[in-house]
Amino acid sequence: MHHLRDSSDILKDAEKLRDRLAEDGYLYLPGFLDASEVVAVQSELRAVLHSVGWLADPDRLAAAGRGLGFRPHSFRTLYPAVLRLESVHRIAFDAVLWAFMERLFGGEIFCHPARVVRIAPQSAGEYATRAHQDYVVQHVTTDVVTCWIPFTRCDEDKQGLRLIPGSQLRGFLPPDASLGGRRPLYLSVPSDDPAWATADYAPGDLVLFHSLTVHGGGPNASDELRLSTDLRYQLVDDPMRAEFTHPHGWPMTPDWDEIAAGWSTDEWYRLPDRVRLVPMPDGVDYGEYLAGLVPQPSRLLADRRQIA
């Protein structure tokens, strides 16, 4: 498997960063965030996961037992407890990260309120999360960039994010409905495909990637939980699917009136007034809708998709 290309050397050059994102489909920035702040979020996550029976000890990442898994009822029990942590939402507004993303986009941005917290116990399969493109759920804006932040260390035994460099140039790839999921999401990409690239990660590292970049989560063969978050950013002048105004997993997870009760501010889920929300069309077959989906022109990828 390839190693991700480190872009720390061009961190202060927005034009070179955009060129590399357009070329590779991602930017890998080890040590970009304050590791102590990321570990502080991990500590809060450990406490919650211990309280719901997923960790044996709140001071360690060791799973409470084998056979743990994210199931439909988890959206009503485990996941709301995690999403109620204000810190997992606040990190999306880290001043250094926010300024960097605005430089990368070259304009005013916002972060999708539907922030994803990934909790990966020991996995029996070849993936913790199968290969997919985020555009498979974004639909109305191509230039959405996901920031992936590991809350825990990731290595060969406890793998983290993996992606396929250059895959964004292939455009949108309709998913294989036979691979499971509530609706078609995943792509048929072997876990040993030589095109995959990854790294050993530590808290403080950042990987960001375009909505058309094929990515997934590697397997976890350890007895510890792997914790991470996906934060999605875009320009305020581009539309967003209306469902992403709600907490991730809604309507299976509760809405903000319950999730955010007792928070210090509503800033973490309040959108700029001019963001245009586009609901999913009624009465359409989702598979047929995806089969006919054509990504909007991308400013971040320029004309590279056509050239490729």
User: Tens digit of pLDDT for each residue in 247-280?
Assistant: 999 999 999 999 999 999 999 999 999 999 999 9
Band of residue 123 on the pLDDT scale cut at 50, 70, 90: confident
Residue spans of the domains in the chain: they are 2-307
Q: What are phi and psi of 228, to 5 degrees?
A: -155, 175
Q: What is the pLDDT of residue 66?
A: 82
Average pLDDT over residues 282-292: 92
pLDDT in tens, 60-105: 999 998 888 877 788 888 999 999 999 999 999 999 999 999 999 9
Residue 307: band (very low, low, confident or very high) from pLDDT cuts 50, 70, 90: very low
Instruction: Specify burial of residue 288 (Cβ count, 10 A radius: 0-12, 13-18, 19+).
Output: exposed
- Identify each DSSP E strand in 151-263 by its residue range: 161-163, 197-198, 206-210, 215-217, 226-235, 240-241
pLDDT confidence bin for 297, thresholds 50/70/90: very high
Tens-place pLDDT, residues 169-208: 999 999 998 887 778 999 999 999 999 999 999 999 999 9
Residue 308 has pLDDT above 50, yes or no: no
Give all strands (DSSP E) within 185-263, no chain letters. 197-198, 206-210, 215-217, 226-235, 240-241
What pLDDT was estimated at residue 228? 98
Start-end of H helices in 32-134: 35-51, 78-83, 86-90, 95-105
Backbone angles phi, psi at 16, to 5 degrees: -65, -35
pLDDT at position 303, please? 52
Query: How high is the pLDDT of residue 304?
Result: 53
Identify residue 10 by its one-letter amino acid code. Answer: I
Return the SS3 of 287. helix
Q: Are strands 129-132 and 215-217 parallel, antiparallel or unpaired?
A: antiparallel
Span 145-165, mean pLDDT? 98
Q: Which CATH architecture has domain 2-307?
A: Sandwich (2.60)
Residue 144 has pLDDT above 70, yes or no: yes
**What's this model's pTM, rounded to 2 decimal places?**
0.96
Say what the pLDDT of residue 306 is.
45
Determine the longest span between alpha carbons in the chain, in angstroms: 53
Using alpha carbons only, what angle is made at residue 231 by residues 249 and 263, rounded to the nearest 5 degrees? 70
* Average pLDDT, rounded, for the chain: 94
For the segment 144-167, the average pLDDT, to the nearest whole number, is: 98
**Pair 180, 235: CB distance under 8 Å:** no
